[in-house]
Amino acid sequence: MHQIMWARWVEIAVEHELEARRAFQDIVAKPDGDALLREFRASLVSITGAAHTIEAVFGDIKYLIPVQPPRDKRHRQLRHAFRTAFGVSGAEDENLAGELSWLFTLRGGTPCFGHVIQ
């Protein structure tokens, strides 16, 4: 059985984002440890799922583009690959760089100050 992995990962990411939003509403309505833990766990899975989605898209396109030179950060390698594969440039490229940076910083467990996830 063949699966399109980025599609499965995006389903996981969205499902858990929605759960995190529901838990956050519960936190606002009645703060308690259970809702806080549910929101935290769902957020962790959502961030991880989003990062794996990007990795899976890269896995599908990496054979269609020239070999990528090594980069010091994973988000920079992915940005370069998507720029090459999809012709991303200008303001879209800058936006992509910022989005990949915060996502992969969060996935790596390093604090990402200055960016608010909504």
| The pLDDT of residue 86 is above 70 | yes
| The pLDDT of residue 76 is above 50 | yes
**Where are the domains positioned within the chain?**
5-107
This model's pTM is above 0.85: no
pLDDT at 109: 63
Q: 53, 67 in Cβ contact below 8 A?
A: no
pLDDT digits (tens, 9 = 90+) for 12-49: 999 999 999 999 999 999 888 899 999 999 999 999 99
Q: How far is CA 109 from the centre of its chain?
A: 13
Q: Tally helices (H) and strands (E) across the chain.
A: 4, 0
